Every structure is written in structure tokens, then in C-alpha cells.
Amino acid sequence: MAPDKLLDGLNQAQIRAVTAPTGRVLVIAGAGSGKTRVLTRRIAWRIARGETDPNRVLALTFTRKAAIELRDRQRQLGLRDRVPAGTFHSFALSQLRQRWDERRTVPPTLINSKIRFVARICRPPAGVELTDVVAEIEWARARLIEPDDYGAEAHAAGRVPPAAPEFIAELMVDYQKEKRRKRVVDFDDLLELAIRDLRADPDYGAAVRWRHRHFYVDEFQDVNPLQHALLSEWLGDRDDLFIVGDPRQSIYAWNGADPDLMNSMIGADGITTVNLRDNYRSTPQVLGLADTVLEAAPGFTAPGGTPVEDSTLIGHRHDGPAPTLTRYDSDRAEAVGIAEAVRLANAGGYRYSQQAVLVRTNAQLAIIEQELSALRIPSRVRSGPGPLGSPEVKAVLGAIGRQGIDLVQQLEELDQQLAEEPRIAPDSDSGSGSGSDGEPVATVPAAGQLERHANLAALSRLIHDYLTTEPVPTGPGFLAWLTTVNGSDVEGDDEAVDLVTFHGAKGLEWPVVHVAGLEDGFVPIVYATTRAQLGEEMRLLYVALTRAEQSLNLSWSAKRTFGTKSVGRDPAPIVARLAAAITKVGGSSITPDWRSHIARSREAIDSGRGPADEPATPVGADEIYAALRRWRERKARAAQVPAHVIVSDRALRAVADHRPATMSRLATVTDLRPAKLTRFGPEILDIVGSA
């Protein structure tokens, strides 16, 4: 293809990036600005001009999927030669295999399960999970931290170690020794060994650098120091380096990434910087709201206090609907409201596959998936296995599925376990974990502990839901019921609502996005305490919001249930700013949870406190009864039980006749058991209140 043809369809900033002089080029590519298009066109343009040998290219991505997409786009541009593209680890392994083959060395074995390997060489302290310990070792390795320096570095980074720093440091040493003894390696070793070989043998290093001459790196804001060290060795004293990334979307510092590696390059001498600000994905309304979040991100500057230049994106889509922000009385009401919003959007022309529900943690997905299923709306979890696929939940489900297991007893044991809040070992500064007055010092649980606790709490809630609908509960019966409310197989997988965490949504986009759980403790996450961590939490929310192309709906819950415990919740600190921003673009700053509003108004009338602000048009008892029956049918289908098992006809008729507005009044006019009152009462009152 002629070089000039490769510039067709590009805007001026994209053309500047593609045609930049050979050297170190940094492209700040905002969300929806055509990052991958620029990267692939740059490679093809230089090849077409004869400046690059395609066999000498090294295109580095962070996922295999991204590498495949890059190669596919190259083929679509007409490149006959296959351009090497892959992850840091895949290229490191390829280099090592060639080296081992040249030396006729038997390659070491790659560890299949790091958790099992570590379990054989240590026993963690009580209450400490090996997954958290391994994650901490991986973070230290990614940051090039030696065992002796781990404690100080973890403290400086504001991390909450899952165990005493001395234990982590000692295990780091033992882990490396045991790998050498058994001649096995992990993925971090691949990078370290590749670096070692390049540094130890100058002739070998020169040969590798001759083979790889033109470097392209995608998502550079997510590079960690270990990866950067390998890239520096590959590059040597040359400067043929093309980097694409976005400081606004740096969200992996918790996993070892160092955004300063990119920030420090912005405006530096000898580096051509191109800023892609034109966004072709989202409406101006979505981008305006995203900018509000970015402005609240602490520390969004380059070293030295220099602001990241021109952070605001320029939208190129037509105006869309104003975003909405809804306060719900409970997480159940929020899940129901989201399911209804998904259904209405579908009725308005958006396919289910064009919609996504985004949350901060996997554990938040279970109740949303359940309510979507109740409306026969297909869904799929895109960010990992979801709470029900986590190891801790799968272990409980395995026990529940065995014949002869008492499900109620299993639930009691689970709830007793959940009654204990997750704890961590006291840090080295506190010593005993107590203050000077002898009182315990409050500690923040490690991220993995909180997530496991929340996953088990989601399972507990589902078991409680099952017990309210099943007269003869059994373990196998619960597992069968679980597939009906969380199976996501109502329809084909190609036509389903995506349920995704904020992290999992990176790189994806949908016309309609519902962002749930904007509560303090989720946004920012409870263990984010330092300025850097809080800044990353805001960038993470920015990533979530910029996944929306046209419609963006935000929500939070004033009460959330964790297992059997109902906890009051505050809105995320950013919610006030979001409300003000939505008002400016002509939307509703706080869309009311209108069903609960009407119910509260009717309760005020019943108690003599005063009239409702917006009284609903009265309807007859028969209409209310019909609405209640339709609701019951949906619940019965979802649970695959007879309708009367949910709520009897007599109870529904009593509700329709007396129109209770409070839980106490509902208990008076019906014969519902306490469990069913807890499970179905709020929904019944919502239906009555909205009539």
C-alpha cells in the first residue's frame, strides 16, 4: 500500500503521530481517540516507506488478545509480512528458548500454580490467605524490590501487607531458593532471566538487539519497572521507540505498574510528544461527566508539578441524553432498578449486548445478575468468574452439593464465619496491634481478604433467598435453583448484558452503560488511603465512565446487605460533583428511586405526618392484585417453583385490599413468615406504592 493511502481517514493529530520522525515518540492517546489505529498505521507507514524491516519489529502489548488484534489490523492494511506482536512475557520466553537451544540446555519447568508451589514451602499465619501472600510477592518482583527492602517500600507505597513484612520478606527468599532447587521458573523469572542474559554476555546482547530494532509499546502507562528494565535492555543505546498510552487511564499501580515511567517522559528533551484529544466514542455529556471525575483525581500531574497537558477530550459525537444519577434505598432496589432500566433500554432499541453494568468489585455482581435473571434478561460476567466462580465460594458450593449435607447447617456455619470481619496482622509500627491506651488499633483489611469476605457474603444472601422460596430446601436443590437465578443462559451468550468490574471494562465500550454502587467504600475502595491510591481510584472511575458511547446511568444504595448484615451506606465523595455536573448539562442531578418515594409518601399519610408531595392517581384493589400476581409469576419462573410457594393468593389479596405502606403494616395484614417478609416485603411495598 502507498504510504499516503495509510493516512486516509486520520485527523491532524493522528497524522502527526503516524508520520513523526524516527526517534522516541510518545503518543498520549485519550479514551476513544483511535489509539490502536494510530499504532497499526505507524508500523505500516514506516514499512511502506522502507524505513522499517517488518521482521525487525517488536510490538509489545499487555494481552494476547491485543496482540492478535494488532496483527489482524496489519493484515487488513495489506501487509504481506507478519509483524511480530506479543506480550513482554511471550517475547522473553522466545528469547530464552533460543538461548537454551543454542547452549543445548534443558529448559526449566514453568510453574503451573504458584499458589500450590508456595503452599508446599510455607504455612501462613492464621487468617492469612496464600493468594494474598503470592500477590504481594508478585508486586515486589514487578517493582524490582529486594527482600531486605520490602517492608520499607511497602510502607512508602501505602500498601497493607497480608502478613507481617518480615514474613513476606523471608518467604521471598525461600521462594527463590526452592525454585532454583527444583529448577522451575515463574512468569516474573522469564523477564529477569532475559535481562540477566542480555547483561551477562555483550555479544549475545548485541545479537538480540540486531534482531529487534524497531519498538512499539501499547498501554505504556501500565508498564512496571521489571518490564521497563527488559525494554531498556532490548533497546540499548538506540532511540527507535514508539509509545502509546494515557496517564488518565493508569489503573494498575496496585499490581506493580509505575505511571511515572510515562509521566516523566511528557515534555522531556529528545522526545516527540503527540496528544490525541479527539474522542469519537462518547457523547459530549458523557465526556463532561468523565472530566468532572478526572478533575477530582489527586496528583494528576507529572513529576515536578507540571500538569498533564490538555487533558480534556474533544467530543465528536452528536449530543446525547444527559446522564442520570439515582439514589436507591437498598442494594436490592438498586439491582431491580438497573434490571428495569436495562429492559427499558432494550425496548427503546438497544440490544442486550449493547449494554453493560459496571461495578467496582466482583462481589457486587451476584445480586444484579439475579434480578436481571428474574426479568428473563440474559447476562454474562466478563471480568473473571464473578463471586460464584471464586475459589472460596466454589469450595462451599462443593460441600453443599454433596448428598446428605444439611443446607441450613451449612448456612449457619457460613454466617458465623461472616460475622467475623476480615482482619490483618498488625503492622510493624504498632507491634502488638494496640494503641497506647491498650485499646485495639483499627486496621484496614487487605484487598484480597475483603473481596473473599464479600464473595462469601453474596453466597450467603443467595442461600437465604432460596430458603424463602423452597419449602423443603436441600443442597442439590439449591445448586439447581442457583442456575435459574444466576445462570446467564436464558438466551444465547451472544445477546447478553455484560457484567463487568471497572478494571475488566478497560478497552471495552458499549452504547449504554449502567455504573452501580457509587458508595463510599467502593469508590474509592476502602483500602485506598494514600494520595496516590485515591488518585488511581478516580482514574478507575474515569475509565468506567468513558466506556459509555451514548447513555450513562449512575446509581448508589443507601443500604447494602453483606451476608445477613444490613449496613447503611454513604454516597461516594465524588457523587456531589457528579450531581452538579449532570445538572449543568440539563439532566436530573438525583433521579429519585420513585417507587420508594411513593411508598414513603403513603407511609407519611398513614401515620398522619402530612400529605405526599406527589400523590399517585388512585387505582382499584383489582389492579393492585393483578400487578402483584404478575410480579409473583416472574419470581416463580425464575425460581422454577409453583407461584403459591412465593406468596399465597390470600396474602396478595390482603395486600391489595389494605394497601400497606410499611413493613409492620404488611406483617399485620398478611400471614407472611418473617423470612418472606424480609425477602419480598420491600418489593411488595414498591408495587403497592407505585399503583
Read off the C-alpha cell for 94: 522466545
Q: Answer whether 278's CB lies under 8 Å from 61's CB.
A: no
Read off the C-alpha cell for 368: 444484579
Amino acid at 252: Y
Amino acid at 55: N
Average pLDDT over residues 342-357: 93
For residue 515, the SS3 value is: strand
**pTM of the predicted protein model:** 0.73
For residue 200, the SS3 value is: helix
pLDDT at residue number 345: 93
Whether pLDDT at 688 is above 70: yes
Backbone angles phi, psi at 116, to 5 degrees: -65, -35
pLDDT at residue number 597: 43
Distance CA 477, CA 471 (A): 11
Average pLDDT over residues 361-380: 91
Residue appearing with cell numbers 419449602: 471
Q: What is the pLDDT of residues 74-112, one digit of tens each?
A: 878 877 667 888 889 888 988 998 899 888 988 898 888
Distance CA 243, CA 216 (A): 6
Whether pLDDT at 210 is above 70: yes
Whether pLDDT at 587 is above 60: no
Read off the C-alpha cell for 203: 555479544
Average pLDDT over residues 180-203: 94
Read off the C-alpha cell for 428: 510493624
Average pLDDT over residues 54-83: 82
Q: How confident is the model at residue 331 (pLDDT cuts 50, 70, 90)?
A: very high
Q: How confident is the model at residue 198 (pLDDT cuts 50, 70, 90)?
A: very high
Distance CA 229, CA 159 (A): 23
| CA angle centred on 325, ends 322 and 329, rounded to 5° | 155
Distance CA 494, CA 499 (A): 14
Q: How confident is the model at residue 144 (pLDDT cuts 50, 70, 90)?
A: very high
* Contacts by residues 337-340 (CB-CB < 8 Å, ≥ 24 positions apart): 337/555, 337/593, 338/368, 338/371, 338/372, 338/514, 338/516, 338/553, 338/555, 339/368, 339/371, 339/372, 339/374, 339/375, 339/377, 340/375
Alpha helices in 266-406 (DSSP H): 284-295, 331-347, 365-374, 391-400
Amino acid at 286: V
Give the bridge partners for 249, in sequence order: none
pLDDT at residue number 269: 87
Residue appearing with cell numbers 425496548: 347
Whether pLDDT at 200 is above 80: yes
Average pLDDT over residues 245-254: 91
Q: How confident is the model at residue 330 (pLDDT cuts 50, 70, 90)?
A: very high
Q: Which among 107, 143, 123 is positioned nearest to 225, based on CA atoms? A: 143
Q: What is the pLDDT of residues 422-458, one digit of tens each?
A: 644 333 333 333 333 333 333 455 666 767 777 788 7
